[in-house]
Structures are given as C-alpha cells and as structure tokens.
Amino acid sequence: MFSVLALATQILANANFATQDTVSSKTSVPLVNVHQEQPQFQNADKSDLAPPPKVRQIRIPGDILIGGVFPVHTKSQSGDEPCGEIAETRGVHRVEAMLYALDQINAQNDFSSRNGRDPQIRKQGQKKSVAAVVGGSYSSVSVQLANLLRLFRIAQVSPASTNADLSDKNRFEYFARTVPSDDYQAMAMVEIAVKFKWSYVSLVYSADEYGELGADAFKKEARKKGICIALEERIQNKQESFTESTNNLVQKLQAEKNVGATVVVLFVGTEYIPELLRHTAEKMHLSSGSKKRIIWLASESWDRNNDKYTAGENRLAVQGAIVLMLASQKVPSFEEYFMSLHPGTEKFERNKWLRELWQIKYKCEFGAPVSSNANRCEDIRQTTEGFKADDKVQFVIDAVYAIAHGLQAMKNVHCPDDAIETSWISRYSRQPEICRAMQNIDGADFYQNYLLKVQFDDVVGKRFHFSAQGDGPASYTIFTYKPKSLDKRRRMLGDEDESQSDYVEIGHWSENNLTIYDEQLWWNANETPVSVCSLPCKVGYRKQLIKDEQCCWACSKCEDFEYLINETHCVACEQGKWPTKDRKACFDLAVAHLKYMRWKSMYSIVPAILAVIGIVSTIFVIVVYVMYNETPVVKASGRELSYILLISMIMCYCMTFVLLAKPNAAVCAIKRTGIGFAFSCLYAAMFVKTNRIARIFNTRTAQRPQFISPISQVVMTGMLAGVQLIGSLIWLYVVPPGWRHHYPTRDQVVLTCNVPDHHFLYSLAYDALLLILCTIYAVKTRKVPENFNETKFIGFSMYTTCVVWLSWIFFFFGTGSDFQIQTTSLCISISMSANVALVCIFSPKLWIILFEKHKNVRKQEGESMLNKSNRSLGNCSSRLCASSIDEPNQYTALLSDSTRRRASRKTSHPTSTSSAQDTFL
Ligand code: GLU
C-alpha cells in the first residue's frame, strides 16, 4: 500500500523553524520529504529547503515533504556552543528510526527501482510544502513546534512528548502523538505509591512543560489517593538549582528518623537527571557507606540506556530506583539495520551525525591513514554486545507509519486514479505523478480526516490507532534498577549473565490496572521501604492530625469501650457491646461473653464446698440428735425448735447452690423466696426460743406465761416464718420471676434475675427484724442458765450474725461491680449465718452428748449441775437468786412444768425424764 506514497525521501537537518533560543541551538531538526514519483536522483529544491550555511542536515529526495525534529544533541552547558554533546539514544537512534521507517515504506514501492535505481524527485524546481512533521521529543520543544506548525496548518506527530496539555485540541489542533498523555503516567505513579503505602513523598520536577505539567498531574492524583507531598523542588538547568534542591531533599530524610519522604517522585527532563543523581550521591555521602537513601520513582523521561545515569557515584544513588517506561518492544529489524551502519555505506553517510557519534563513542578518527596507529573510524564495526536501542524507537516508527497511512488514505480519496495499480498503461508507459491535491496538503483535512483515523498493525505487530485526542495507548512497563554487582539475590541465583540489563522489569500498568511482580522487587515483602510522615497508630489508637495534614499525625488512645468509626474518631459501643479486637466494630457481649456463675470457677467452688461442709455438719447434728433424741440434753433444748433450726440451716446452705446456678425463672423464684424463708425460719425459731425464756423469766406473777408449750412454739415459729413466705410469694406474684441482662460495667453483661439486688435486700428486711428482736431477747436473757446458758449462745450467734451481715452489706456495696465476688460473698455470708448458729447453739450440746456423757444423765448429776450453775450466777436477778437451789422456784417450776408434760407424753419413764428436765432447767 505504500508503493504510491514513497518514491524518494529527503531529509534536511537543523532547519531552524523553532525559536532560536529554545530549539534551534540545542536541537537538530531533520526534515523528511516523501514524494510519489518515478525515482530520479535529484538535489533538494534549493529555493525552500536549502539549509543555512553550517547547518548539518539529512536530505533524502522525494516529492512529499515530512519533517523530523529530534534531540540529536543535548543542551549546551556553556552557551558558547549552539549544542551540547551528541545524544546517542534519544537523538541518533530516533533519527535513524525515522530513516529506517522511510526506507521500509519506500522499499514497499512498486516503482521504487524499476530500472534498479534509487528514488528520485522527478520535477526539479517544484515547490513542496511540508505535509507533516515527526517530533519533537521533549514536550517543551513539541509545544513550541506545535505553536509554529499550527500557523501553517501542518500536522505533527510526536513519538515522545507526553505533556498533558498537548491533548488539548483547542490549543494544538494539528498535534498527535504515538505516546499517551502524562495524566496516565501520574495515575500509574500514584498507584505504585499506594501499592507500597508511600503516603508522604517528595516531588522534583523540571521547570519546563514536561516537569511542571507532570508534577501538577501527579499532585492532583496524589490528593485523590491521600498521598501528601512533603517537599516540592523545581529544578532548572543551573548548578545552584541542583545544589539547593538536593540539599532540601536530603534534609527531609533526617538520619535519626525512621519516617520521612524517602520516595522522591521525578518528573524531570532527561538531561537533568544524571546531574541530579550526582549531587544526591555527593550530598548523602553514599560512597562512604551511608545507609539512608532516596528511592526515586521516576517518569519515562529517565533514560535507562544512557550510561551517564549509572556512571561513578551515580550508580549508588540510582540503586533501587523505580522507573516507568512507556510499554514498547524491541524492533529487531531496526537493530539489525543499525548494526549494519558503518562508515562508507550510503546509509551511514547520509546521516552526518553518525560520524560525530562514531568519533565520540569509539574514540576514533575519520580519514586517518591506514598505515597510522590511529584508531580509524572506517575500520570500526558495530556488534550487538552492549547495544541498547532507545526505548521509543517503536513510537518513532509508528509516527512515520501513521503519517504514511494517513497520506495513503488521503491520496485514495483525493487522487483515486493516481495509482499505478489502476493504470496498466501508465505503469509501463510513463512515470506516475503525484496529483495536485497531494502537492499542497490541507493540514486540517489531513489531520482530522485521515491522520487521526489511521489504524494499522505496527512494526512489532500491535494494532495502532490514535485516541480521540490524538494520543497513543497508555501502557507502562515498570522497572527497577538492580545492578547485578550489588544484588545479592541475583548473584546467589547465579544470574551472572552480563547481557542482562541492570534494569529489571517489576510490573506494568495499563488502563488503571497495576501489576507488580513482588518477587522481582529488591526488597522482601515485609521490608518494603517506608515513605510516611507518621507511622500507623497501634490498634485502638486514633490519629490526631497535625495541622490538618492528612499524612502527619500523633496517636492518641481510645477508651477501652470505644471503637474507631474512622481513623480519627473513637465512638463508644452501645451498652452491652464491646469493641472487636481490631477495634473496627462492636460485638454483642451477651452472645460471646455472657457472664454468670460458672461451677468451675473458684468463686463457685469455695462457697459450694463450704455449703457442702455445712450441710454435712448439720446432717451430722441431726443424726446425733435423732440418736440421742431421748437424752436430757436433746430434750432440754426443745427438740421441735431444734429440728426447725437444723432444717433452716440446711435450707440456708442449699441457697448457695441456688445462687450459683445459672439464673432462670425457677432459680430466681427460689432465690427470692428461699433465702428469706430459710432465714425467717432460723431467726423465728431463735426468736421464739429467746422470747419464751424472756417471758418466763420476766413473769412477775406466779401465773404461768401463755404459749410456752412446744406446740405453741412451733406454731409461733411457723407463723413468723409464714409472714416472710407470704410476703415473698406476693412479691413473686407482683413481679414474676425471670432473668435479664445486667451491665455492671461497660465490658460486662451479667445474666441475673430480673429484680435489682437492692430489692432482694429489702426482702430480707423482715428477717433482719427477727434477727434484731432475737438479738434483743438474747441480750435480755443472756444470763439465764437454762439449758446450759442456751440464750447466751444464741446471743453469741446473733451478735456474730449481725457482724457477718453488716460486713457483707459493706462488702457487697464496696465491691460494686464484680458480680462473682458479690455472689460468692452472699453465699458465704448465708452459710456463715448458718454456721454461726450451728456452732453457737448446737456445738455445746453436741459436746456434752458426745464427750461429756456424764452430764447427759438424770437427776442426781443434773442437780449437782444445776447447783453449780446457780452458784455461777454472781450478778443474777434478785428474783432468780432469791430462789433456793434445792427447792424449785417459780421459773424453774414453769419451765419444768411444760417440759414435764411433754416428756410424760413421750416417754415410758415419766418420772426419771421429768426429774431430769427439772434438773436442767
Ligand atoms: N516524555 C518526555 C517529554 O515529554 C520526553 C521523553 C523522551 O524524549 O524520551 O518531555
């Protein structure tokens, strides 16, 4: 298809059509002329293409003129010279890539060499206008070039300029490029930073269209992703600018700190970078082993094929750099073509910059005599070893092909008959001519209707087309600089292959999709370098932003019951809920950690053991009592009430198990009635006992006091205990038993009965009343010798019980929140109350029954016992003391009377029993 386009080419170099100070003095500018005509060697049209004197150029004859603008030389450092050094990759390789592409296009021409000769311009003196321009490379050049070319409505296709503004078709109506806009590059860089959690970075950019716009795009994207820029350095091509910027950068990496903006994002023109690296290496004393280093995250202007980047100390500064490159492929046929260039060949000689390059690269001389010792350039032959073609060769070739395809399409429309395929006669009878429409191309028509619409499979087999904005596809390859000599891992793997590049591919980015090959990174997964202002807060701490900068913060602790609603705010969990381990939500304590007494816990085991001991002891007493039921001691203590007391005690002990059981309606009902009832039985019985004695001993008349018989005592006890029972049952009716969740502290949900503890305490008020009354009577009757001073022991029991209960109340409210301690203490207190009664009331009797059997006998011994007792009553009441020990007085008579009657009913030996009873009372 290119046969109709390319018959001859002409390249002109150094045409100064960009402003002097920015382009012409620093950039070599070839122009390429493509013509559709029978080949004929011809000089370029001197009228419009003749270069100014001293300007080097490449001219290839042809009919359609295509320009090329490439940075063949670097910028001049001194200012005396118009250009700096020759740039091999970005300059010469790109020029050759364009020539190569044109050669390829021309080679496809059916006309090209019908008679074996090279293409020629057929008509001398014909005026040609530039159809399109390939270039420039640096965005700053492209912008100026575009501004110029738009005046002449000439289409421009850049193979390297990525400045985002160039997509603006209102400003650059004729600009297209085979590379993408830097907006995508900025996105890719930000995604890399996000991936490695680099939230605090420095930014260095060059003071030109490339650097400034790239930096702006990066800042915009970074802001979206919460990345902060610690420092911005804008560098210019001045020594002081580098020194100042590197000083600032290095200062930001304070040696003593683990944090800081270690990552430096670079949007800097290619030529600034080696100098920047040199300054950094010097300032950071990298050669003397300083550990702190900068991690460059560099844009595609980084030239990985430029040896200056890694020369000398620079290599230390570059180490670990992460570099984006536009995704491109090697073009083997171009490399082959380039390798074939050597002095003397036509393709070598047409490009005068190759001579300059040869002299510098191979340190050789042209024209030295064969016999001399000098290194003759003519003898130099290139080898593939160490050859690294420029990364954008593919884009240069794409640009030339895009223009060629556009011209082809345009020609097909405007000059449909002007093709040899359509005219068999013309093909052999006359030389074809380019049609008029193609001689003066309307740039706007060409750009809009043909160039932007091209689609073709490019030199590496990829389908190429422009976006609506005239941009190329956005796809990047990510490399890291990992020199073999410094990379232990690579050496260990035996990767000594010298041909392998020091730049290792670590991933790629396209269409918002970042892929990183972690195994290729120069750090291990858990050793990713940090570039942050503040380290992350520990779990349970919130960030307190410093000066509203989202990347710098201090950490402050949330309350234990709070979770983090976001990184900066703690919020309290609802009642009954508690923060999860990661402090990001709350969970229901009732589901995971519901508290109630567990049998396995010490809080349950200890009271349960005490209760069991109590029950066993009480049963033992009951057994002894039953066994010695008919002995004077048992009888004298009032058997009915004694058994009531003992059973009440067992009830008290059993309450421990009720209290320790998992609360449910039944357990709660028993708790609410049982404890009160057990106590009421206990204290009612004691009260009846003491009250009876008090009444007997208080009787002023000889009249026998009422209700002192055993049956009346039992009835009285039952009535008094019944009051408590009825009260409890009414309470149960009014507030039906059930369970609920109680929240004593924020982190506890306790399963408990549905009545508050203080209500439970109120329910024991009646028991307390009985206890107090009992105590009062015990005090009153403390000196009555009846039944071995039983009231005295009841008194002891009462005082102790009072102390136990008072201490429990203080303990209960003192330990406030711990339900286990509260329950355990309540159990122990109840058991203690029973213990106290058991020990005080029953142990003296048990002692006599078991160990002082001689006292547990009838009359005689009893009398002597009574005498002893009466004698011991030193401060006895006058009434009691007045009575003779030998004769029964009115009180003993009353007491004996009641017991005698009872004894006579139950025993077959009334006489002996009654006398024993008399004796003891
Ligand atoms: N993308 C750079 C710019 O727009 C040029 C890079 C290169 O020439 O490789 O300035």
Which CATH number characterizes residue 661's domain? 1.20.1070.10
202 & 173 share domain: no
Pair 209, 242: CB distance under 8 Å: no
Which residues, 6 or more positions from 536, have their beta carbon under 8 angstroms from its beta carbon?
Answer: none
Q: Which of 592, 617, 646 is the last residue of a domain?
A: 592
Residue 881 has pLDDT above 80, yes or no: no
Worst-scoring range by mean pLDDT, 603-612, 658-667, 845-854? 845-854
| pLDDT tens, residue by residue, 565-580 | 998 999 999 999 999 9
* Tokens at 232, concatenated: 């911005």
Pair 156, 135: CB distance under 8 Å: yes
* Tokens at 179, concatenated: 């590379």
Which residue type does 850 have?
Answer: L
| pLDDT tens, residue by residue, 689-717 | 888 888 887 766 667 777 778 888 899 99
Pair 232, 263: CB distance under 8 Å: no
What's 574's DSSP letter? P
In a domain, 537, yes or no: no
CATH number of the domain encompassing residue 570: 2.10.50.30
| Alpha-carbon span 89 to 304, nearest angstrom | 10
Q: Which ligand 1 atom sits closest to the C-alpha of 179?
A: 1
In a domain, 357, yes or no: no
Q: Which of 855, 872, 889 is the last residue of a domain?
A: 855
Average model confidence (pLDDT) across the chain: 80
Which residue type does 632 have?
Answer: P
Residue 740 has pLDDT above 50, yes or no: yes
Q: Which ligand 1 atom sits closest to the C-alpha of 390?
A: 9
Q: Which ligand 1 atom sits closest to the C-alpha of 301?
A: 6
Per-residue model confidence (pLDDT) at position 184: 96
Residue 192 has pLDDT above 60, yes or no: yes
Ligand 1 mutation pick, 162, 299, 476, max ligand atoms within 8 A of CB: 162
How close is the Cα of 121 to the center of ligand 1, in Å? Answer: 34
Per-residue model confidence (pLDDT) at position 249: 79
Worst-scoring range by mean pLDDT, 637-651, 655-669, 777-791, 817-831? 777-791
Per-residue model confidence (pLDDT) at position 882: 33
What count of other Cβ atoms lies within 10 Å of the Cβ of residue 623?
A: 10
Residue 421 has pLDDT above 50, yes or no: no
| Alpha carbon distances (Å) from 244 to 8, 249, 251, 642 | 52, 9, 11, 103
In a domain, 333, yes or no: no
Relative to beta strand 503-510, strand 513-516 is antiparallel
Token pair 């005080």 is at which residue?
840
569 & 674 share domain: no
Nearest to 131 by CA among 391, 439, 427: 439
229 & 143 share domain: no
Ligand 1 mutation pick, 27, 72, 183, 270, max ligand atoms within 8 A of CB: 270
405 & 515 share domain: no
In a domain, 780, yes or no: yes
Residue 50 has pLDDT above 80, yes or no: no
Residue 11 has pLDDT above 70, yes or no: no
In this prediction, residue 486 has a pLDDT band, given cuts at 50, 70 and 90, of low
Per-residue model confidence (pLDDT) at position 697: 77
- How are strands ordered across the β-sheet holding 513-516? 228-235, 200-206, 263-267, 295-298, 322-326, 475-481, 503-510, 513-516
In a domain, 535, yes or no: no
In a domain, 745, yes or no: yes
Q: Which ligand 1 atom sits closest to the C-alpha of 137?
A: 8
Please indicate whether residue 445 or residue 256 has the higher confidence score (pLDDT). 445
Q: Collapse the DSSP code of 70 into the 3-class scheme (helix H, G, I; strand E, B; otherwise coil) and give the result.
A: strand
How close is the Cα of 118 to the center of ligand 1, in Å? Answer: 35
Nearest CA to ligand 1 atom 5: 138
Relative to beta strand 200-206, strand 263-267 is parallel
297 & 211 share domain: yes
CA dihedral 868, 869, 871, 877 (to 10 degrees): -170
How close is the Cα of 249 to the center of ligand 1, in Å? Answer: 24
Q: Give 693's Cβ-side CA count (13 Å radius).
A: 29
How close is the Cα of 268 to the center of ligand 1, in Å? Answer: 9
Q: Which helix (H) or strand (E) holds 235?
A: strand 228-235
Per-residue model confidence (pLDDT) at position 127: 57
In a domain, 544, yes or no: no
| Alpha-carbon span 797 to 687, nearest angstrom | 12
Overall residue count recorded for the chain in this entry: 921
R_g (Cα) of the chain, nearest Å: 55
How close is the Cα of 390 to the center of ligand 1, in Å? Answer: 12
Residue 33 has pLDDT above 50, yes or no: no
14 & 161 share domain: yes
SS3 content of the chain, % helix, strand, coil (to 5): 50, 15, 35
How close is the Cα of 356 to the center of ligand 1, in Å? Answer: 23
Q: Is the dihedral of CA 118, 123, 125, 130 positive or negative?
A: negative
Which residue type does 272 have?
Answer: Y
| Alpha-carbon span 652 to 805, nearest angstrom | 14
Which residue type does 659 have?
Answer: L
Per-residue model confidence (pLDDT) at position 390: 94
Q: Collapse the DSSP code of 177 into the 3-class scheme (helix H, G, I; strand E, B; otherwise coil) and give the result.
A: strand
Strand partners of residue 455: 465
Domain hosting residue 842, numbered range: 602-855
| Alpha-carbon span 596 to 824, nearest angstrom | 12
How close is the Cα of 431 to the center of ligand 1, in Å? Answer: 42
Q: Which of 430, 446, 465 is the last residue of a domain?
A: 465
Token pair 């000599």 is at which residue?
485
DSSP codes, 827-896: HHHHHHHHHHHIIIIIHHHHHHHHH-GGGSS-HHHHHHHHHHHHHH-TT--HHHHHS-SSS--HHHHHHH
CATH number of the domain encompassing residue 442: 3.40.50.2300
825 & 880 share domain: no
Residue 9 has pLDDT above 50, yes or no: no
In a domain, 359, yes or no: no
790 & 658 share domain: yes
424 & 499 share domain: no
How close is the Cα of 300 to the center of ligand 1, in Å? Answer: 7
442 & 484 share domain: no
Q: Which helix (H) or strand (E) holds 825?
A: helix 819-837
Residue 138 has pLDDT above 50, yes or no: yes
Taking residues 897-911, report their average pLDDT: 40
Count structural domains, the chain: 5
* 3-state SS record for 422-435: HCHHHHHHCCCCCC
Nearest to 568 by CA among 577, 585, 578, 556: 556
699 & 817 share domain: yes
What's 519's DSSP letter? G
Nearest to 405 by CA among 29, 9, 34: 34
707 & 733 share domain: yes
Ligand 1 mutation pick, 145, 300, 324, 394, max ligand atoms within 8 A of CB: 300
Worst-scoring range by mean pLDDT, 25-34, 385-394, 835-844, 859-868? 25-34
| Alpha-carbon span 725 to 678, nearest angstrom | 9
The torsion angles phi and psi of 880, rounded to 5 degrees, stand at: -70, -40
Please indicate whether residue 671 or residue 912 has the higher confidence score (pLDDT). 671
Residue 530 has pLDDT above 50, yes or no: yes
Taking residues 655-667, report their average pLDDT: 94
Q: Which ligand 1 atom sits closest to the C-alpha of 163?
A: 4
- Name the E strands within 482-524: 503-510, 513-516
| Alpha-carbon span 85 to 890, nearest angstrom | 140
Nearest CA to ligand 1 atom 10: 138
Within 6 Å (CB) of ligand 1, which residues are found?
A: 90, 137-139, 160-163, 210, 270, 300-301, 392
Strand partners of residue 465: 455
Residue 265 has pLDDT above 60, yes or no: yes
Per-residue model confidence (pLDDT) at position 692: 83
Worst-scoring range by mean pLDDT, 34-48, 414-428, 810-824? 34-48
Strand partners of residue 325: 477
CA 225 to chain centre: 15
How close is the Cα of 138 to the center of ligand 1, in Å? Answer: 5
| Alpha-carbon span 503 to 372, nearest angstrom | 41
Please indicate whether residue 444 or residue 433 has the higher confidence score (pLDDT). 444
How close is the Cα of 162 to the center of ligand 1, in Å? Answer: 6
How close is the Cα of 780 to the center of ligand 1, in Å? Answer: 112
Enter the pTM of the model.
Answer: 0.67
Per-residue model confidence (pLDDT) at position 219: 96
Pair 217, 182: CB distance under 8 Å: yes
Residue 204 has pLDDT above 80, yes or no: yes
Nearest CA to ligand 1 atom 6: 301
